[in-house]
Amino acid sequence: DRRGTEPNYLFNESKNEDFIDVWHDPNPYINEYGQNHLPVRKQKTAEGHAVRATYLYCAMADIAQKYQDESLFEACENLYNNIINKRMYITGGIGSSGVMERFTTDYDLPNDTNYSESCASIGLALFCRRMAQITGDSKYIDTMELALMNTVLAGIAMDGKSFFYVNPLEVWPDNCIPATDKNHVKPVRQKWFGCACCPPNIARTLSSLGEYLFMQSDDGLFINMFAGGEYKTTALGGFKKLDIQTKFPFDGKISISISDIPDAVVKTENSEANKKLYIRIPSYAHNFTIKINGSDITDYRTENGYAVLSKADIASAWRGTDIEINFEMPAHFVYANPKVRADAGKAAIKKGPLVYCAEQVDNGENISSIMVDITKPISEYWDENTLGGITVIKAHGKTIKNPEQYDDKALYSDTPAELGYKEITYVPYANWGNRGAGEMYTWLRRFC
Ligand SMILES: [Zn+2]
């Protein structure tokens, strides 16, 4: 509540004799940069440093929940809506400007000079997780999942040993050089950073993934995201274990087996009787079905994007219940709102929560010259041998014929380049840059 009011504590602090300028913040202080331009309840647009902004929003959400503060919650909703409708990349990245690592203006989403700090997407996931807990609404989980499964995962190499701080959606490594507007863009993951916030932030996020996958309330357990593993919980009454098997996000089949933990050290008094299981129905899921102990369940209730299973849906008790979830999530083209100048006339590809990209290692040099045909079907197949096992996507398109002929030609000409057929290979954005340095494009120009 002190933010955006006078006296301005951020200005005053910097005037103290013993003030140490640790962060080299802009001086004089730019109020937007530190979300100090308005009282937080009046802020309707996400401004300033993107990581600091999301951490502030987390605190606002926590206090809104703790004190049932409706005007503070409303501010959180306004800020969330501004981010997801006007200021977020398709990858769940936020912070369009390399200068000051900040939000800029609505629809300003450049792909090759953006910041999209790994920590900012972690901050967005933290904020969304809190908003989901307050509202029980899965729309926040859709955004959280987008940030986690694209930008945050791209922030760490598949061997876990190097990191991106900045997450561009388009890279041409040759021109990512110092003292330019791509000074901050690194075409390969780095071992460490002078200000090394992102590597440990990704580490703690991945090691606390359970807090994102699951959520609980007084009346039951929420399964927010799907991942294979074992989860122990008291949220269904007693002490239970969920064994979850799935190849998500490459496959929409999830098997959950619930059992009691008889010798549990933790004894709970809460009974199973009124406990519910909330299973998220992702916004991208087609033909979502649930089977319980082998039988189709069709009359379950849905609430805020969750399928709600109660005791009436299961045989007798949660223990001994086998649940099978199935849905489809075919790869498809996505287009940006035409107000996003950087993506005008372009198309991206998504499959479920995963955004895909085209890399030089699969498609050759000069990916910018490749155009994708949005009228032709795209195909997808499981490839055991690429990037540790992924679903690869192929699309049809065109590119320049014999590009080497242009090596010695004039910079400009009266004749457009001749185009020929091109099969385009896409891999998940989260996995990009794991096969050496090369060009990468998330959005390709489209034709139809
Ligand atoms: Zn960071």
**346 has which bridge partners?**
445
| Helices of type H across 385-436 | none
Question: How remote is the CA of residue 273 from the centroid of ligand 1, in Å?
Answer: 45
Looking at the predicted structure, is the pLDDT value of residue 273 above 80?
Answer: no
Q: What is the pLDDT of residues 279-320, one digit of tens each?
A: 999 999 999 999 999 999 988 999 999 999 987 676 567 777
Question: How remote is the CA of residue 371 from the centroid of ligand 1, in Å?
Answer: 34
Best CATH choice for the domain 212-328 from the list 3.30.310, 1.20.950, 3.30.70, 2.60.420: 2.60.420
Question: How remote is the CA of residue 429 from the centroid of ligand 1, in Å?
Answer: 19
Looking at the predicted structure, is the pLDDT value of residue 265 above 70?
Answer: no
255 or 274: whose pLDDT is higher? 255
Looking at the predicted structure, is the pLDDT value of residue 169 above 70?
Answer: yes
Question: How remote is the CA of residue 368 from the centroid of ligand 1, in Å?
Answer: 29
Q: What is the pLDDT of residues 44-81, one digit of tens each?
A: 999 999 999 999 999 999 999 999 999 999 999 999 99
Question: How remote is the CA of residue 165 from the centroid of ligand 1, in Å?
Answer: 6
| Helices of type H across 83-224 | 118-135, 139-146, 153-154, 198-207, 210-213
Question: How remote is the CA of residue 11 from the centroid of ligand 1, in Å?
Answer: 25
Torsion of Cα atoms, 83 then 84 then 85 then 87, to 10°: 40
**222 has which bridge partners?**
215, 278
Question: How remote is the CA of residue 437 from the centroid of ligand 1, in Å?
Answer: 22
Positive or negative torsion for Cα 60, 24, 112, 383: negative
Inter-residue contact 371 to 441 (CB < 8 Å): no
Looking at the predicted structure, is the pLDDT value of residue 160 above 60?
Answer: yes
Inter-residue contact 305 to 283 (CB < 8 Å): yes
Backbone angles phi, psi at 132, to 5 degrees: -65, -40
Judged by DSSP in three states, 328 sits in strand
Question: How remote is the CA of residue 121 from the centroid of ligand 1, in Å?
Answer: 9
Question: How remote is the CA of residue 148 from the centroid of ligand 1, in Å?
Answer: 14
Inter-residue contact 416 to 370 (CB < 8 Å): no
Looking at the predicted structure, is the pLDDT value of residue 270 above 70?
Answer: no
Inter-residue contact 395 to 424 (CB < 8 Å): yes
Question: How remote is the CA of residue 270 from the centroid of ligand 1, in Å?
Answer: 41
Residues 258-286 have a mean pLDDT of: 81
Question: How remote is the CA of residue 229 from the centroid of ligand 1, in Å?
Answer: 28
- 414: which residues sit within 8 A by CB, 6+ positions away? none
Q: What is the pLDDT of residues 100-156, one digit of tens each?
A: 899 999 999 999 999 999 999 999 999 999 999 999 999 999 999 999 999 999 999
Q: Which two tokens stand for residue 414?
A: 């009266």
Torsion of Cα atoms, 112 then 118 then 121 then 125, to 10°: 160
Torsion of Cα atoms, 53 then 58 then 61 then 67, to 10°: -120
Question: How remote is the CA of residue 199 from the centroid of ligand 1, in Å?
Answer: 7
Q: Nearest 5°: CA angle at 80, between 182 and 252?
A: 85
Looking at the predicted structure, is the pLDDT value of residue 269 above 70?
Answer: no
Question: How remote is the CA of residue 448 from the centroid of ligand 1, in Å?
Answer: 40
Q: Which two tokens stand for residue 83?
A: 């981010």
Question: How remote is the CA of residue 49 from the centroid of ligand 1, in Å?
Answer: 11
Residues 165-194 have a mean pLDDT of: 95
What's residue 238's pLDDT? 82
Question: How remote is the CA of residue 286 from the centroid of ligand 1, in Å?
Answer: 35
Inter-residue contact 91 to 113 (CB < 8 Å): no
Residues 327-331 have a mean pLDDT of: 98
Inter-residue contact 145 to 72 (CB < 8 Å): no
- 41: which residues sit within 8 A by CB, 6+ positions away? 71, 72, 74, 75
Looking at the predicted structure, is the pLDDT value of residue 266 above 60?
Answer: no
What's residue 27's pLDDT? 64
Question: Distance (Å, rounded) from C-alpha 255 to C-alpha 381?
Answer: 22
Question: How remote is the CA of residue 93 from the centroid of ligand 1, in Å?
Answer: 12
What's residue 428's pLDDT? 98
% the chain with pLDDT above 90 = 84
Question: How remote is the CA of residue 195 from the centroid of ligand 1, in Å?
Answer: 8
In whole angstroms, how far apart are CA 240 and each of 234, 267, 309, 313, 330?
6, 11, 16, 18, 34
Question: How remote is the CA of residue 101 from the centroid of ligand 1, in Å?
Answer: 10
Inter-residue contact 333 to 165 (CB < 8 Å): no
Inter-residue contact 439 to 173 (CB < 8 Å): yes
Which residues of the chain does CATH 2.60.420 include?
212-328
Question: How remote is the CA of residue 193 from the centroid of ligand 1, in Å?
Answer: 9
List the one residue out of 339, 363, 335 whose CA is nearest residue 349: 335
Inter-residue contact 443 to 348 (CB < 8 Å): yes
What's residue 9's pLDDT? 80
User: Tokens 């891999």 appear where?
Assistant: 427
What's residue 120's pLDDT? 98
List the single range of 6-15, 231-240, 248-257, 374-383 with lowest mean pLDDT: 6-15
Question: For residue 222, what is the enclosing H or E element?
Answer: strand 220-223
Question: How remote is the CA of residue 198 from the centroid of ligand 1, in Å?
Answer: 4
